[in-house]
Structure 1
């Protein structure tokens, strides 16, 4: 089942409204996935220091996160700029120390997970109704250039925060998925030989890892998604975010519902049209169903550039 939403803004004037629009879209998909929800937001401005990265951490609560971060700062002799949001905290840290920080947290802070890393991307996800998850993390007040979200109805694994989407396996890269992959166990083993690591048994995390690996090898987002149509077996709809890009692809059968809308101001995706009806200008938008086995991708050359479909 599950529900997917995505919004890519071409018009910078809409960036302060990104979170509010995405929040309503996410809530509309509640009956497609009421057990957990999550979203990724690409902020209008990334970390100010080009040598820094944002790490989004998740823990059992704000106090546990605060304690872990304090101990980590003391042990590693660093100071992290921190933003707390419910069970998540976003740390701005030197990029060259990311590996060291991850290793320390894994060894010394059980129950604290690194959800994502990026210059602009932050990911938040939790068990609960989508409206509740959005409210807990104040999604409505977030601004940015693009974002994706997911409402989950667990069918292949337990209802846990780790099982919620989006999944991120690369810097500023994330993916949400509706469907099921049949060859994810074999692909997970292959990707581990390529140096990737996974924290769940979820097939969506494998799909995210596959795209990260392909892009690490030099493929563009569009090329990575095109190759997924051959290398990933199953039925799926993917919506993907990168630091500057947004993309959608459906498998060759395309049995999962999907609808898109494009105007001069934005590109939007929803598992159902009703997720899009509250968007400004939707009555004059070009509304269409994405074709099977076709990659739809938009890229921003700079923060104020318009997206162009590839």
Structure 2
């Protein structure tokens, strides 16, 4: 089972290992000891393994860039009694061999569902990006019936809830503080997994689904702050949900869509005003660049947020630099 260690996020690159020890390290330490898998790097390719892993008490999630490899869960390794479930996505898809159940080929970008209490072999030829979620069976068993009967290629990237699960996990691995939110993250992931495994259920969205949608919307806002037309209506068209539902999501987060967008824009301007490399930029140009089309509105909101005018913030930053 997953070790009950403190929540943390760890990055690893095989390039940090002396070249003549890399193959041995991946096979023996990372493969057999850490992942409990027999790993066979493709000897015709230069060994690449760059990974970032979030460890929580009941799950771990890894995003990596890996050279072609084959992964085996063997009878010998199954003696550890681990019955965790692994859900692994891969850029080029997988060829999965399941003794007694046949072979499965997953589509590029789709996931393979693998149980660690069974033998299997997975081959990947294009893992320029790959992501694996390993979680305790007890996290999902109460939420999904007949868990062991679900097809190994059930989780794709085309159903909205499947994409939502993938995007939420990806966002966690980009967050520096995700490990500090352990219990909350676990609940959200469990909700998303249940929805993904139970695709087609008519039940209302769980808190985990709503949290993941809100996170995806916030990411979209961050990427489009400079668009003066950014609005709840625009976002609703992007995500194919109603603008009323979007406003409900932000209300549950103790804010509103417009307030959140305004706060993010103000934070962007504040960062520019204190940036040594942008001291010569006109304040009005910075504000306009990030979507403030009315100068009076910008100056009023900035002072309300920071208690000082933009000019005063810049002057304070200049004094600190000098």
TM-score interval for Structure 1 and Structure 2 normalised by the shorter chain? under 0.3
So what's the TM-score if we normalise by structure 1?
0.28
Of structures 1 and 2, the one with the larger relative CO (CA 8 A, separation 6+) is: 1
Greater Cα radius of gyration, structure 1 or 2: 2
